[in-house]
Chains A and B, each alone.
Chain A
């Protein structure tokens, strides 16, 4: 089943899209850094490179990936053919979801590589803070779980390619405002990737001071709700 999906996405624009955000972030990292003595260069670089990524690109990418893995089925009447195969709908749903998360993991890995490359090329003295970096990138990835679940649900339900993306943009844009709000940000799943990725003490966003536990509770809670809803819909969907 995975290998069948792989065949479909192997030669598609997905790969380009996955590389876009890390590329932009690298440019930020290379040209945007004004380091002063005595700061933490890695933390600084991480903030700089991941803020746009985590605030906008990561949530948007989640929606794009979800829409793309469904597109081939929507386009060629493929749902009918696929669901008439001896494969359970649950399995199809789980695999599609896993592919989306896999692509996001790839994006995160690319960005991580870009970050380290930027750091090394500028010759930071401090050793690479693996722990912080992995927490940040892993956390950002986990924070995408509910988004991926909801976007997959929407993408499966809607025939059109653009509609799920529009919904995604509408839900993502408030991030720019909400991130300063300690009241709302913790409960907005779209703000979670940013909350999870940015280094805690680097910037003065109010919402960043919240405990990791509450964030993960929101993330996992909303993930379970979205995933269950999408799965249930898919299993009963008539095609």
Chain B
């Protein structure tokens, strides 16, 4: 599917049955090098389960996983050496301070000592480095979790709902943080979320999973196209205006509350407006109406639009 270079993460018919239910069903992920892959799905869709399998924490019931073109079952350690991860919620040793937490992980990874200060600076925890982590706020713990994931200079960064449980400011902060991660080094990021809006601004590619099945996987632009706006016209007597516009061949729609025109360039809009004015309609408003990605997402995942 990706026309881009190298595929870093590829799964083939990935399936997991848990407690008699198929929670991940035939998922074929394809993540290219340098992608920021937004892995989206509502609660319970199977995101975490998929990610646990990618990290070798759980075994697939069937299907294959290749990361860096290596089979996870055969070369798990070689793969994990180049992967940094944060699954579900950050893990930490509460009685240790931030530096010691990172040091415990650093000793497992064999990363250089200087890297600890680097990652602390990246997540802006340098000031708090000497405090026991059990006194950290959730946002600080999340940031420490991201710092831990970055410690080994990973080529693939897997972040499972890194904004879980954060307030809007915290979410914003984490988002900025992820965006600010050095993109030059060609690091690939898989970030899961149940909110499209959260990854929309940073993802280059999106996979949507619902009820264990991957129902969409493509570049973010494709999703945006589907979400492209319509032009809404506020006029006197819209129903009559609608009939007028139709008679001139404009793609107008009237749903008894509002009059809209589908994708139209500037000249078409100008033509419509002058036609309406000439026919003595009063034009109050001409405004662009964005179908949000969220509503498309809801349509796809089949959730209630009224949420």
Residues of A within 8 A of B (CB): 1, 3-4, 7-8, 11-12, 72, 75-78, 80-88, 236, 238-239
Q: Do B95 and A85 touch (CB < 8 A)?
A: no
- B interface vs A, CB < 8 Å? 52, 55-59, 77-78, 80-81, 83, 85, 87-96, 100, 103-105, 107-109, 148, 152
Known: A81-B148, A238-B59. A87 touches B108 (CB 8 A): yes
Q: What are 24 A-B interface contacts by the 8 Å CB criterion?
A: A1-B107, A4-B108, A7-B96, A8-B96, A8-B104, A11-B96, A76-B91, A77-B89, A77-B90, A77-B91, A78-B91, A78-B92, A80-B52, A80-B57, A81-B105, A81-B148, A83-B56, A86-B81, A86-B108, A86-B152, A88-B77, A238-B52, A238-B58, A239-B57
Q: Provide the residues of chain A in CB contact with B91, threshold 8 Å.
A: 76-78, 80-82
| A80 with B88: CB separation less than 8 A | yes
Determine the chain A residues whose CB is within 8 A of the CB of B78 once the complex forms: 86
Contact A84 B107 (CB under 8 A): no
A8 to B133 alpha-carbon distance, docked (Å): 13
A8 to B107, CA, bound (A): 12
Closest to B160 in A: A80
**Separation of A85 and B81 alpha carbons in the complex (Å):** 7
Say whether A83 contacts B57, CB under 8 Å: yes
Chain B residues, Cβ within 8 Å of A80: 52, 57, 87-88, 91
Known: A7-B107, A8-B104, A239-B52. A84 touches B87 (CB 8 A): yes
Residues of B contacting A77 with CB < 8 Å?
87-91
**A188 and B118 alpha carbons, distance in the complex (Å):** 54
Chain A minimum-CB-distance residue to B106 = A4
Question: Is A85's CB under 8 angstroms from B105's CB?
Answer: yes
Closest chain-B Cβ to A1's Cβ sits at a distance in Å of 6
Task: Flag if A11 contacts B109 (CB, 8 Å).
Answer: no
